[in-house]
Structure 1
Amino acid sequence: MSTINRTQLIATLRQALEQNPAVCAAWEGGSAAFTYMDELSDVDAVVVVEDDAVAAVFDAVEAALAALSPIDLRHDITGTVGYQQRFYRLRDASPFLVVDLVLMRRGDPLLFREVELHGKGTTWLDRYNLLSTKHLDAQADLAQAMARLPALRAAFDMFQHIPTKERLRGRAVEALSFYHAMTLRPLVEALRIRHCPHLRNFGLRYLDRDLPADVVARIRELMFVSDLDDLERKHAQAQAWFWETVG
């Protein structure tokens, strides 16, 4: 049974961060920075620390969480540039109430403050007035989105034979996997460039939030395939939609 709620978890995080002098700023992002937080949302905490204090702040946060509830699972994200990220699941909290903790050094320029991408986060702490609101340069961002189209078209055109040949071989699992990766994912990227170019890199996440309802319904129909004959039909439909979109 869950005994730790969201309010308690956030209070614990905030106290641990506020009491640590190496923490320069902290805020809650994710769904809380937009309008779609619900009872299944996790806690997205973003923290700016002194350049030499990343490990120490992680340790301090983990100690505070462990005092609230034993940490059931920790997962480190590797290969990130400009920040470090860890996830925590607590034994006495809902399995959905995961802590997504991002730490970045004060000397790094990446702050995830662009409102169009990251919403309006709830500030927990800002010792040095680091958390100014930023906006994308809409014209430059749109130019980058449009510059992506030639490569997107070329890759799509090159690889549609792969789901087709696996279907013809009767390899349903491989055919479906390549259809999702090589047909639907670039189709969704093209649709995002058309409808919400600044969100073009979000892939299949947040479709209901970002794209028109009729577009989402059509994608959903293409995602679920019953057999190889159905795959053949939907593959053809998805290809036609892609070329219509990028045209």
Structure 2
Amino acid sequence: MDIRERIVHLLRYTYMEQEWIYAMWLEGSDGTGSVDHLSDLDIVFDVEDGNEDRLLEMLERTLTIIGPLDYKYEGDKPDELLRYIVYHIEGTPSTLLLDITVQSHSRKYEFVIEDLGTVPTIIFDKKNVVRYCHLDHLKLEKELLSKLYHIEQTFNQQARAKKYTDRGLFLESFAYYQRYVLQPLVELIRIYHTPIGYYMHLIHISRDIPQDVLAELEPLYKVNSAEEIGLKIEQATEMFNALLPLVKEKLAHKTTN
């Protein structure tokens, strides 16, 4: 049993019989079947409302069975009914960060069946917490049309980057190149190739988009001077302008059907 399996087995054995802990499942690479020796662990617990702190206190004691915790960080709440904490156990691989999400039971959430990037691997579920629904295509199309407007308008401000390339200021050029050229370009690529995960930006993009598109996109990030950024802006613009009408056509077709 490797260390990942040992952690999951320990938590399952310890918490499955706790009446106020309703469910435990894995997300991330465990859900998508892409675990390798560098993968972290994304673990979600569903608990009775009011027991969130209790779960975290218990979790920290449990993890020390494997080893002392040498890292702990609690991020901002993405939702009033969610807590997100990152742990690392001393002596385990540096990449084996434990991304722990604690969900209050009153939160009503459904996994979208068509979203293959977010798939739960259930460890136990005593209250049918893990539920599924089909994609709301109309809602998604409205979101994409709105997003497309902002993508196009952001890209049209690329002069903010060009002025710094003309001034020969690399850091400023790089920052504005990222914001007004690369980011909207990646979002446009996402809408065309992975519309369900259009918001994921570069996360797993090497896996999610065709290799020929990836081969065209990657060099745009490899810059060493303000002058080179100026040349890459031209290349990115050609790529953006070629893809934009295809995205509009695709969305128009969906909207009229």
- Segments ≥4 residues shifted beyond 4 Å: none
SS at the partner of 2:173?
A: helix
SS at the partner of 2:86?
A: strand
Q: Residue 55 and residue 118 in structure 1: after superposition, are their counterparts in 2 closer, same or farther (change >3 A)? A: farther
Q: CA deviation at 1:38?
A: 0.8
Q: How does 1:96-115 map to 2 (within 5 A)?
A: 96-110=95-109, 113-115=111-113
Q: CA deviation at 1:140?
A: 2.8
In structure 2, the partner of 1:215 is 213
* Structure 2 alignment gaps of length 5 or more: 246-257
Match among 143, 157, 160 for residue 158 of structure 2: 160
Q: CA deviation at 1:227?
A: 2.0
Q: 1:131 aligned to 2:114?
A: no
SS at the partner of 1:93?
A: coil
Q: Which amino acid aligns with 2:34?
A: Y
Q: Which amino acid aligns with 1:74?
A: K
Are the aligned partners of 2:165 and 2:226 in contact in 1 as well (CA < 8 Å)? yes
Are the aligned partners of 1:188 and 1:204 in contact in 2 as well (CA < 8 Å)? yes
In structure 2, the partner of 1:237 is 235
CA distance in structure 2 between the aligned counterparts of 1:46 and 1:135, rounded to whole angstroms: 22
Q: How does 1:1-247 map to 2 (within 5 A)?
A: 5-81=3-79, 82-110=81-109, 113-115=111-113, 116=115, 118-157=117-156, 159-247=157-245
* TM-score (normalised: structure 2): 0.89
Q: CA deviation at 1:118?
A: 4.3
Q: Which amino acid aligns with 2:58?
A: A
Q: Which amino acid aligns with 1:150?
A: Y
Q: CA deviation at 1:128?
A: 1.0
Q: Which amino acid aligns with 1:30?
A: G
Are the aligned partners of 1:25 and 1:124 in contact in 2 as well (CA < 8 Å)? yes
SS at the partner of 1:133?
A: strand
Q: Which amino acid aligns with 2:95?
A: F
User: Pairwise CA RMSD of aligned residues?
Assistant: 1.8
What do the CA deviations read for 1:11-60 (whole angstroms, capped 9, x no partner)?
A: 12222321432211110111111122111111110111111111111111
Q: CA deviation at 1:117?
A: 5.1
CA distance in structure 2 between the aligned counterparts of 1:164 and 1:138, rounded to whole angstroms: 38
Q: CA deviation at 1:4?
A: 7.0
Q: Which amino acid aligns with 1:20?
A: Q
Are the aligned partners of 1:71 and 1:90 in contact in 2 as well (CA < 8 Å)? yes
CA distance in structure 1 between the aligned counterparts of 2:101 and 2:117, rounded to whole angstroms: 13
What do the CA deviations read for 1:111-134 (whole angstroms, capped 9, x no partner)?
A: 5x2231544322111111121333
Q: Which amino acid aligns with 1:14?
A: R
CA distance in structure 2 between the aligned counterparts of 1:34 and 1:12, rounded to whole angstroms: 22
Q: CA deviation at 1:155?
A: 2.1
Are the aligned partners of 1:12 and 1:68 in contact in 2 as well (CA < 8 Å)? no
* Structure 1 alignment gaps of length 5 or more: none
CA distance in structure 2 between the aligned counterparts of 1:188 and 1:17, rounded to whole angstroms: 41
CA distance in structure 1 between the aligned counterparts of 2:164 and 2:227, rounded to whole angstroms: 13
* TM-score (normalised: structure 1): 0.92
